[in-house]
Structure 1
Amino acid sequence: MSMSDSEIERLARGTLLSAFPGALPPRWLMEEVEKGLGGVTVFAINGNVPGTEELAALTAELRKAGDPLVTIDEEGGDVTRLTGHVTASPYPGNAALGAVDDPELTRRVYRSLGAELAEVGVNLNFAPSVDVNTAADNPIIGTRSFGSDPELVARHAAAAVAGTQEGGVAACAKHFPGHGATVEDSHLGVPIVDADMELLERRELVPFRAAIEAGTRAVMTGHLDLPAVTAGIPATLSPDAITGLLRGRLGYDGVIVTDALDMEGASGEIGIPEAAVRALIAGADLLCLGSREYHDSLRAVLAAIVEAVRGGRLPEERLADAAARTRALRDWLAERVPGTADRATGLEAARRAVRVSGGELPDWRGNGGAPLVVEVAATGNIAVGPTPWGLGPWAPDAVKAEGSAEEATAVLERADGRGLVIVLRDAHRHAGQRALTRALLAARPDTVVVEMGLPVWRPDGAVHLATYGAAHANAQAAAELLGLA
C-alpha cells in the first residue's frame, strides 16, 4: 500500500537541513521542527552565532520543539564559526596538525573542539576535511587538508573522527570522493577530478576508508565530477558515486550528507528542489539546503520530493531508508556524553607546527624594540569567509598592504631603524604578495617572512616562518617566536 502525501512529506522533512536568519529560531522553523524536520545548520553569516551563550540559547530553544540535528561547519583553523569568525579560532587547522604529524595530538584537538560544540548544543560537525591536497593552487582546500600524502591524511582523519565523537558530537568526513586535486571551487562550478579508479584507490579514497574504519557517523559528498565514475554528473547527484562507490566499494553504512545544495556545483543548472530529489535518488540521506534557504525553499523542496515519489522517480523505500538513517543518527547522539574542552591543546599544537627556515630569527627585544609588522591582503575563499587573521593583536602599529612592489618605499620609510616582518597568506597564489616581499628583501635582506597559509613559495635567502594556518593559535605561536607576545 502506497503512502499518502502527508506520510511522504513527513519522511521527506526528516531528510532536510534548513537554514534560518537571526540568533533565535523563527516561528516557522519551530513548527517545522515539531513536524519532524531533520535538522538545521547554523551559519555565522546568518547571525546565528553572535556568541557561544547565544548559540546555546538558540539550540535549547530548538529542542523545546523537537530533537533536530544541529549542524555547523567548524573545522577549527581557517574555517571556523563557533567563535573564530570574530576572534579567529583557538585551534589550529588540519595543515598545522599534519605538519606536526602526531595523531594523538590531532585526536586531543578534535576532542576539545567537539566538547565545545556539544556544550552549546551542536551535535553534528561538518568536519574533518579529509581531502588529500595534491593541487598547490587548490582554491578551496589548502590549509583545510592534513597534507598531500594519503597515508598521513588517513591517520589524522581517523584521529579527528575519534576525537570529535569522544567530545560528544558526530563527525562528518568530507568532501567525498575528495576535493584535493581540484583547481576550481565547487561553490562556483563543478570541479573535475581527473583520476581513474586505480588512482582514486591509492589517493582520494585512502582517508575516507580510514574515517569509515574509525566509525565516522556521517560522510559529506562534494559537488565533484569524476569522469571515471560519475560521467559528468556531480558526485552529490550520482548513484555511481554514492550508492556504487561509497556504499558499495567502501562499505559505508552511516549517514550520507550533501554539501550545500545552493552551491553552483549542485544546483546551478537545475535548481535546489530538483538537486534535492536527484541527491536522494543517488543515495544521500541528509540534504543541506544552504545558508540562505529558508522556509519558502524548504517548502519547495518538500513539494518536489512528494512529486518525485508520486511520479515514481524516487522510490518510497529509498526515502524511508534516508529518513531512517537520520533517525538512527539522532538515537546514537542521544547516548553521547559530552567531553571536556581543553583549549590549551590548541596552542600546544600550533606551537609545535611552526617551522623556521633560512636562518635564525632575530632577537629584536634587545636591539631597537619591536619590529614593524606588514600584513598583506589575501583573498580568502567562500568556505573560510571573513575570519580575522594576522599578527595585529600583538603588533598594534602593524601596517596593512594590498600587495604590490610600489608599496615598498612607504613601508621601508616606516621601518627605518626597526626590524621588519612581512606577513603573507598563500603567497604562491598571490603575485602581489610575492612582488612586495621581493622588493622589501632587496632593500632589507633582514626582513622576516611569515607565511600563514601553505608554505609553497619561499623567497631565496630570507628567514622564513611557516605557521600552516591563520587561526588565532597559529598567530600567537608566531608572535611568541618573533618576540611580540
Structure 2
Amino acid sequence: MNHSTDPTVRALVAGVLWPGFLGTTAPDWLLRELDAGLAGAVYFGHNIDATDPAQLPALSRQLSDARAGVLLGVDEEGGTVTRLEAAHGSTLPGAAQLGRVDDTEVTRAVGAELAARVRASGANVVLAPVADVNTNPRNPVIGVRSFGATPGLVSRHVAASVSGIQSGGVAACVKHFPGHGDTSVDSHHGLPRVELDLAVVEAKHLPPFQAAIDAGVAAVMTSHVVLPAYGELPATLNPRILGSLRERGFRGAIVTDALDMAAIRAEYGAGRGAVLAIAAGADLLCIGNPSHLGPKRGATDDVDDYTEVRDALLAALDDGTLSISALERASRAVADLSEWVAAAQVVPQAAAQAVGFDGARVVREAITVSGDVGVAGRELAVLDLRDRASIAVASTADPFTAALTARADCVRVGAGPLNGRDVVAVLSDALAEIPAERTIVALVDAVQPGSPQRRALGMLAAARPGSVVVNAGLPAAEPSVLPTVDAYGVSRLTADVVAGVLTGTTEGVRA
C-alpha cells in the first residue's frame, strides 16, 4: 500500500512529529503541516525577537489557530539554558544553584515562575527539568544543568520543579531518560556510551526519573546514550529502555531528544532513527534545532529536516518495517498530552510562589568564593578562556563579559570564547597584550585537573599572580591557586551577582 497518498495515514504520521523551524515568523510549510495534523513545534532562541515582547505570543496564537490542540514546546531550563532570554541570558537561577541552596520550596517557586513565563509566551510544554545526576565532573553537556551529583538531592529537586512547573499550567518534560550524567561525550556531536552495571544505573541515575513520575510529570524525554547493560541501541531507539519507563508506571508521552543530533543522525540517520524510535515505544519525535543552527551546520534547511523524518515513517509503513498499530499507540499518547495541556490550570498558590522568590538571593547563597577576589578600584581586563558553548546552551549572550565590561575601567581582551583554539596560545597572546597594571579576570568553565583550561590557569598564576578567576562551571576537585568565584552557572542573573562580588557591592556569599 502507498501510504504517502493516504490523508488519514499522513495525518497520523504528522501527529507524532515535533519540529523546530527557522525565523521569527511561521514558515508556509509549517502552517500547511499543522493544517494536515502536525503535533506542533518547538521554539529555540532564533524564533524569538528579543526587541518585540509581542512577537512570540503572536506567533503562538498563529500556530494555535492553525491547529486545535497544538503542542508548542520551548527548550527553556532557566539558568544556563534559556531560549526565552537567549539574547541577554536568563534571569532565573539554574539547577546547580538550586541544588546548592537545597530548598525545595524555592525550586518549586522557580518552576512556577518558569511556567508563568512559558505560558505568557503562548507555549504549553517546557523541556525541563533536567533529571540527570551529574556523576562525571568532566561531563561536557550536563554539568551545571543538573541539580547535583547525588540521586537523593536531584530527586527531591526534580519532584519540586515538576510540581512548580505543572502547577503553573504548563506540561513539564523531564530529561534525559535514563540519565546523561555519567557521559564524557556530548550527544550533539557523537554517540556517548555509559559503561555502568544495571545496579549502578538503578541506584544512581533512575531515582530522579521515578521521582518525576511520582510527581505526575506529563512527559519524559529520552537520551541518545548507549548503556551496554541494556544493549547496543541508544536509549531513544531501545525498546528495553523505553519499556522500562512504562514498567515504572509512567503513562504520559515519551518524547525523543532531537533526532538531528549527531548521536542519531551520524549513526542511523534521522529518518531511520525516527522509525526505530516509534517501534521502540517513543511517542513524540523531536526533530530539533534546524540544521544551519544545529549539528548539521547548513547541510539542509528546516523543511528538509522535517520531510526527511516524515517520509521515512511513510516509507517504513509501506514496506512493513513499521506497523500502523505502533503509530496509532504513539498518536494516542500525543493526543493525551494535548488534552492534558488543554485542561491545565494555574494553581493560585503557584502564582504567589512565583512572585515571592528572590533569584539574586538564591545565586548569592549558591556561589562560593576562595581567596580575595575583590577588584574594586582596579583597572580590569576580562579574558575569556572558555571554549564555545555546547549546542544545548546555544545562547548568543555572554552575560559575564557584559556585566564586567559595563564598568568604564574594564576592557575585554581577545575575541571571546576559544571556539577550538589552543587555550595556551590564546593566553600567551593575551598576556603580551594586557598591561601589567590591569588585573586579569579569567572566565573559565572546565577546570578539572588535566583540562586545558586548568593548565592555562597555572600559567596565568605564574605570570600574573594578581589575577582572579570566575568559574561558570563546576568547581575543580582541587582548588585553584588563584582567587576564584565558583558561580555554578552562566545566567545573566549570576553574572550580575558575580560582578557585584568582585566590586564589593554584593555581600552574603559563601567562603
TM-score, length of structure 1 as denominator length: 0.90
Q: Is the 8 Å Cα contact of residues 354 and 477 (structure 1) preserved in structure 2? A: no
CA distance in structure 2 between the partners assigned to 1:430 and 1:384 by the alignment: 24
Q: 2:496 aligns with which of 462, 468, 476?
A: 476
Counterpart in the other structure of 2:295: none
Displacement, 1:104?
Answer: 1.3
Distance in 1 between residues matched to 2:435 and 2:309, nearest whole Å: 59
In structure 2, do the counterparts of structure 1 residues 460 and 25 end up closer, same or farther at CA, with 3 Å as the change threshold?
A: closer
What displacement does 1:8 show? 2.0
**Which of 407, 412, 419 pairs up with 1:399?**
412
- SS of the aligned residue for 1:228 comes to helix
Structure 2 residue runs without a partner (length 5+): 291-300, 506-511
Please, which runs of 5 or more residues in structure 1 have no aligned partner?
none
- Flag the 1:423–1:411 CA change in 2: closer, same or farther, 3 A: farther
What's 1:247 paired with?
246
- 2:400 alignment partner in structure 1: 390
1:341-373 Cα distance to aligned partner (Å, 9 max, x none): 54963323212211123x4544x54xxx14514
Aligned to 2:113: 112
419-428 or 104-113: bigger deviation: 419-428
Cα displacement string for residues 423-444 of structure 1 (whole angstroms, at most 9, x for unaligned residues)? 3222238845334433443355
Per-residue deviation at 1:200?
0.9
Alignment of 1:254-265 (within 5 A): 254-265=252-263
1:449 to 454, 457, 469: 469
SS in 2 for 1:17: strand
Which residue is 1:236 aligned to?
236
3-state DSSP class of the match of 1:86?
Answer: coil
Q: Which residue of 2 aligns with 1:314?
A: 322
The question of whether the paired residues in 2 share the 8 Å contact of 1:117 and 1:169 is answered with yes
User: What letter is aligned with 2:314?
Assistant: V
1:321 to partner: Cα distance:
1.6
Q: 1:425 to 1:304 in 2, by over 3 A?
A: closer
In the alignment, the residues of structure 2 paired with residue 7 and residue 430 of structure 1 have an alpha-carbon distance, to the nearest angstrom, of 57
Equivalent pairs: percent with the same residue?
40
Alignment check: 8 A CA contact 1:15 1:37 kept:
yes
> Cα offset for 1:182?
0.8
- CA drift at 1:480: 1.6
Query: Residue 80 of structure 2 contacts residue 145 of structure 2 at CA under 8 Å; is this kept in 1?
Result: yes
Structure-1 separation of matches of 2:98 and 2:401: 20
Q: Is residue 413–residue 434 contact of structure 2 (8 Å, CA) maintained in 1?
A: no
Tell me which residue corresponds to 1:267: 265
346-355 vs 56-65, which deviates more? 346-355
Q: Corresponding residue for 1:301?
A: 309
CA distance in 2: counterparts of 1:465 and 1:246, whole angstroms:
40
Alpha-carbon distance in 1 for matches of 2:380, 2:308: 55
CA contact (8 A) 2:96 2:148 kept: yes
- 8 Å contact from structure 1 (residues 374, 398) kept in 2: yes
Cα pair distance change 1:27/1:430, threshold 3 Å: farther
Post-superposition CA distance 1:202-245 (Å, at most 9, x none): 0110111111111111100011111111x2111111111112x1
Q: Which of the numbers 75, 84, 87 marks the counterpart of 1:73? A: 75
User: Alignment partner for residue 282 of structure 1, among 280, 283, 289?
Assistant: 280
Q: Is the aligned partner of 1:381 residue 2:390?
A: yes
Letter in 2 for 1:382: I
Letter in 2 for 1:333: V
Q: How does 1:303-452 map to 2 (within 5 A)?
A: 303-338=311-346, 340=351, 342=355, 345-357=358-370, 359-362=371-374, 364-365=375-376, 369-379=377-387, 380-385=389-394, 386-396=396-406, 397-401=410-414, 403-404=423-424, 405-407=427-429, 409-410=431-432, 413-414=435-436, 416=437, 420-428=440-448, 431-442=451-462, 444-452=464-472
2:56 match: secondary structure:
helix
Q: Aligned AA for 1:322? A: A
- Specify the alignment match of 2:294 in structure 1: none
Tell me which amino acid in the other structure corresponds to 2:99: G
Q: Contact conserved, 1:108 with 1:345, CA < 8 A, in 2? A: no
Q: Which residue of 1 aligns with 2:49?
A: 50
Structure 1 residues 114, 375: CA separation in 2 closer, same or farther (over 3 Å shift)? farther
TM (norm. structure 2) is 0.86
Q: What amino acid is aligned across from residue 259 of structure 2 in structure 1? A: L
1:40-83 Cα offsets, whole Å, 9 max, x none, are 01222xx3112242111111111121131111211112211111
2:82 aligned counterpart, secondary structure: coil
Q: Does 1:155 pair with 2:156?
A: yes
Report the Cα offset of residue 91 of structure 1.
1.3
Q: Which amino acid aligns with 1:109?
A: V
Rounded Cα–Cα distance in structure 2 between residues aligned with 1:210 and 1:228:
23
Amino acid at match of 1:389: P
8 Å contact from structure 1 (residues 19, 41) kept in 2: yes
User: Are the equivalent residues in 1 in contact too, given 2:174–2:212 (CA < 8 A)?
Assistant: yes
Note closer, same or farther for the CA distance 1:442–1:71 as it changes in structure 2 (3 Å cut).
same
8 Å Cα contact 2:131/2:176 also seen in 1: yes
Task: Decide whether the 8 Å contact of 1:100 with 1:353 is kept in 2.
Answer: yes
**For residues 114 and 439 of structure 2, what CA distance do their matches in structure 1 show?**
37
Give the secondary structure class of the aligned counterpart of 1:479. helix
8 Å Cα contact 2:138/2:446 also seen in 1? no
The one-letter code matched in structure 2 to 1:477 is V
Is the Cα contact below 8 Å between 1:394 and 1:484 reproduced in 2?
A: no
Bigger CA drift: 220-229 or 266-275? 266-275
Distance 2:442 2:319 in 1: 61
Q: Distance in 1 between matches of 2:164 and 2:366?
A: 19
What is the 5 A alignment of 1:150-229?
150-229=151-230
Aligned length: 471
Q: Distance in 2 between matches of 1:382 and 1:153?
A: 23
